[in-house]
Structure 1
Amino acid sequence: MADKELQLIYQGLKRSFTSRDYQSASQQLTAAKIALLQRNALIPTPFTPRSILLTAREILELGALINIHTEDESAFSRYYSQLQPFYDDQTITPPSPNKSKVIGLHLLLLLSKNDIAEFHTALETLEAPEQDPYIKYPVMLERWLMEGSYDKVWNATKSSEVPSEEYSIFTRILVNTIRNEIAMCSEKAYPSIPILNGINLFFLSSEREVVEFATEKGWHILDGRIYFPQDDENREVLEAGSIIENTVAYAKELETIV
């Protein structure tokens, strides 16, 4: 296969991605990876021309980003792993302009899975992470998560601080993880809360969304309140209550929750 043919495959893939046709792009990724395999370019070697390695790196980066848009976390992680030899090889120049974005997205995915140990392991390999906006963002979120400042995380996911569209997709997953953690703590800390307070507590937009969330959790709803399942262990867990208080400290209705 000639270089021109590889470039045609790459350009077609890029057009589909740019036009947001992620279904076609996903199908084109298969042909692109076969083309790279035929050229021994899925893993960088000294014997593969640099021009082909640059194209291979860009195809794999597109693969990672495409799978974010299709919300395929496992596929994104596979592409991230495949990109590491390309990022580590200093002979492949110029450096990728998308490297920080892909790494930052990987960090954000680790946060959404609550894999804090792996998050810090990945962070230790980076130089001056807080100087890069793509890396700084997940680092900032992780710090707030460790503080229990979930309201700051929520506000950051809704602000202009989100570095790119792809980050917005992963932050939705992160917020859902936080929401479920708060739900678990709420069950332990309180016998019931007003539905209205659930909007701020669970970072939702309306009472209807709160009712839907409560129904998914199997909670009982009666007379405008959500009733959590209670047992002796739940009543003894006081620490969970302090976590909830940190979460909703910014809400004016805090005193009515308990």
Structure 2
Amino acid sequence: MARPANTVNDTVALYKMLKAEWDRPNHNLEKCETFLSKLKIYLTKLAFLPIQSPDESSKMELIVARDILEIGALHSIESKDNHAFERYLAQLKCYYFDYSSDLPESVYKYQLLGLNLLCLLSQNRVSEFHTELELLPMKEIQSNVYIRHPVSLEQYLMEGSYNKIFLSKENVPSKYYTYFIDLLLDTIRVDIGGCIEKAYDRISEVEAARLLFFEPGKPNLAEYAARRKWDLSAKHEYTFRKRTKEQLATSKMMPAQNIALQVLDYARELEMIV
């Protein structure tokens, strides 16, 4: 069904204002947000929902709607709004997959799909990461720089090669990846901090910085330790208030030597079977 011409024209005019502001090197996020809020209402009046065999005018509307949603997704990253980013990506998927044969491919398609993968990874939503990955062509998974980057990071996570993840921050395919990598690094540090609290009674400031991939002497480690309620002694050693007396008693009661011997016995038996 045809939309009123003035509705389409108003939407396109407002979209051009949004794009002009967004393309400025120092664009105003609040101004872009104002445009996006208005355009969300306009989009409900256009052919932005999946339709079969769109005609030329509908294709134009779909391209405009897709461009608006892409700017919205990137805007949400700059605004550090994960929920808004996920909402924009949920809407963009119909353009990227349902209309793949009807519309010219967007230059932002794989960048945003890669960012979506990285967003899931940063929240430790690994099963959803693999579900989204299965939607992509194998060729793009293997060769597209925007997809290969989060795939490599997921592999490093599975390997426990955290140092490679920290180094990857210096080699991102887009500036927008930095935000989600920082979130991923925070998630990794939470896991490492939990392991440190269980493995040590106390740990030196230098060793803690090394394990957490912080530069020694920088305020990042002190901020991290304060969040986890670690206490720094005069000897520059951290102790952990989270380690209760019950936890300490349990760790001392754990028969580590017996467990190690049992594991070695299992390994020998497996070797004999093989």
Band of TM-score, shorter chain: 0.7 to 0.9
CA spacing shift, 1:196–1:122, aligned 2, 3 Å: same
- TM-score when normalising by structure 1: 0.85
Give the CA deviation at 1:237: 11
Question: Given that residues 29 and 75 in structure 2 are in contact (C-alpha distance below 8 angstroms), is that contact kept between their aligned partners in structure 1?
Answer: yes
Question: Given that residues 16 and 22 in structure 1 are in contact (C-alpha distance below 8 angstroms), is that contact kept between their aligned partners in structure 2?
Answer: no
- 1:115 is matched with 125
Structure having the higher Rg: 2
Task: Give the whole-Å Cα distance in 2 for the aligned partners of 1:120 and 1:237.
Answer: 38
- 1:183 is matched with 193
Give the CA deviation at 1:39: 2.0
- 2:41 is matched with 34
Question: Given that residues 61 and 83 in structure 1 are in contact (C-alpha distance below 8 angstroms), is that contact kept between their aligned partners in structure 2?
Answer: yes
1:73 to 77, 82, 86: 82
Q: Which runs of 5+ in 2 are unaligned?
A: 1-5, 257-274
1:215 to 226, 231, 237: 226
- TM-score when normalising by structure 2: 0.80
- 1:253 is matched with none
Aligned amino acid, residue 128 of structure 2:
E
Question: Given that residues 187 and 234 in structure 1 are in contact (C-alpha distance below 8 angstroms), is that contact kept between their aligned partners in structure 2?
Answer: no
Aligned residues with identical type, % of pairs:
34
Deviations 1:114-166 (A, max 9, x none): 01111111111111212100000000000000111101100011x2x201111
Task: Give the whole-Å Cα distance in 2 for the aligned partners of 1:90 and 1:134.
Answer: 18
Question: Given that residues 110 and 147 in structure 2 are in contact (C-alpha distance below 8 angstroms), is that contact kept between their aligned partners in structure 1?
Answer: yes
Q: Which runs of 5+ in 1 are unaligned?
A: 239-258
Q: Secondary structure at the match of 2:238?
A: strand
User: Is the aligned partner of 1:56 residue 2:61?
Assistant: no
- Superposition pairs of residues 45-194 of structure 1, within 5 angstroms: 45-46=51-52, 49-88=58-97, 89-127=99-137, 128=139, 129-157=141-169, 159=170, 161-194=171-204
Task: Give the whole-Å Cα distance in 2 for the aligned partners of 1:117 and 1:98.
Answer: 24
CA spacing shift, 1:90–1:237, aligned 2, 3 Å: farther
Coordinate RMSD, CA, aligned: 1.9
Name the count of aligned residue pairs: 235
| Structure with more relative contact order (C-alpha pairs < 8 Å, separation 6 or more) | 1
Question: Given that residues 13 and 28 in structure 1 are in contact (C-alpha distance below 8 angstroms), is that contact kept between their aligned partners in structure 2?
Answer: yes
- 1:16 is matched with 21
Runs (4 or more) in structure 1 with deviation over 3 Å come to 232-238
